[in-house]
A = this chain, B = another copy of it.
């Protein structure tokens, strides 16, 4: 479908950037179509919407000239598409993003319906795109697709061979990813992966993420009496599972903010003096960070800065708790069960399975003899660190500096992107984590937004990065 091309020139890149400018409104319309699909992967009620989002993405890729396939899995399908592989010279890149989104609740806290995207005026950023998934990850995915579209429109082809993989289970632990990488490893393997699911440093400063925490999660359910009971007729002699659960989880952290699970810190390396120094040079204002969300005391481990607590230290976080009557008013009940959803952010040296196992033991040890406990979940992925001196990292950094007029920052990220660890372990392939989101995009929260400048300049950034990568030797991108 395409002719082999020579390494891209500056003039070519200029033409691509002009094509992006010329069709900005069309690009926004396409993104809005994508955002209107409520592809919530964690809630079975939205399964069809996830299928719709996969088909929509595949259709977009086909329209650009990609060969695109929607692969069914046991969960949500994978969208896999290729352009110029084996035809175009230059390093083969695998772009990864996800079409699924987090649940939008609490719905009543949204200023607009979460799946009716619109442009709003933001006091700090000017125009922003508001919708569930605007930033995480549909807006980011579309920056890359729009860059591809502009390259093809302006030059008739892409400057490097491109494979695109869009997943639909990123927000629900990626259960189908392992089997899929096993089955399609040969087809997926590229010289470098491009992952667009991370933040910039701030609205004016691009960033490449070099360090990601891992994630393990687990749901715990404590069962006391065999049925719900009236708290007057039974209260006193009867064990209340909410009491048991709160007493156990109330001991999850020590007085210095440390996680109290025995063995939790086994193998965790302290940040190096060099690393600490680099982070201190960022001039990050921890106090302002906390104040921006209504707090003023760091809640993590004593002796670590706010940035270190978020980038370099593991956590145990209760993401949800529920038991008994939670509706309006009162109900004097002793429930049969109480549950909590717990996730652990991990740093290099921690094994997700061992962390979950330690949590199980922590709970079981504190459980009264006549209560039962069950655990669900337990999936996880370890933390990842990258080589910031590789050729592809340097090429991408140079392209970002051209677009933004400032050197991108190599940063850590407290969040996990399981795909990155999977690419490394299953395909022996490193990734470049480049994203245009901002820390205050309210991802996973009501009124999620993506700055219009993130969308527009994100696409321009990818246009330049593809050009820069095309100048590298295939297979040498990690030299």
Contact = CB atoms under 8 A, between A and B. Distances in A.
B331 A444 contact: yes
Contacts of A327: 42-43, 103, 105
B319 A322 contact: no
A294 B326 contact: no
A256 to B, nearest CB: 13
Nearest to A417: B232
A246 B243 CA distance: 9
Contacts of A333: 319-320, 444-445
Contact of A332 (B215, B286, B290): B215
A466 interface: no
A239 B295 contact: yes
Interface in A204-239: 213, 215, 217, 219, 224-239
Interface in A301-315: 306, 309-310, 313, 315
B445 A235 contact: no
A1 B323 CA distance: 53
For the complex formed by this chain, how many copies does it contain in all?
2
A298 B332 contact: no
Interface residues of A, number: 99
A246 B231 CA distance: 20
B293 A234 contact: yes
A332 B306 contact: no
Nearest to A251: B250
Interface stretch (A7-15, A117-125, A338-346): A338-346
Contacts of A445: 227-230, 333
Interface in A269-300: 286, 289-290, 293-300
4 A-B pairs closest in CB distance: A250-B250, A232-B415, A226-B294, A42-B329
17 contacts: A41-B329, A42-B327, A228-B444, A228-B445, A230-B443, A231-B345, A232-B415, A233-B443, A235-B310, A236-B315, A238-B299, A240-B318, A242-B340, A245-B246, A247-B250, A294-B370, A325-B341
Interface of A: 41-44, 102-103, 105-106, 109, 171-173, 199, 213, 215, 217, 219, 224-240, 242-243, 245-253, 286, 289-290, 293-300, 306, 309-310, 313, 315, 317-335, 338, 340-341, 343, 345, 368-370, 377, 413-416, 439, 442-446
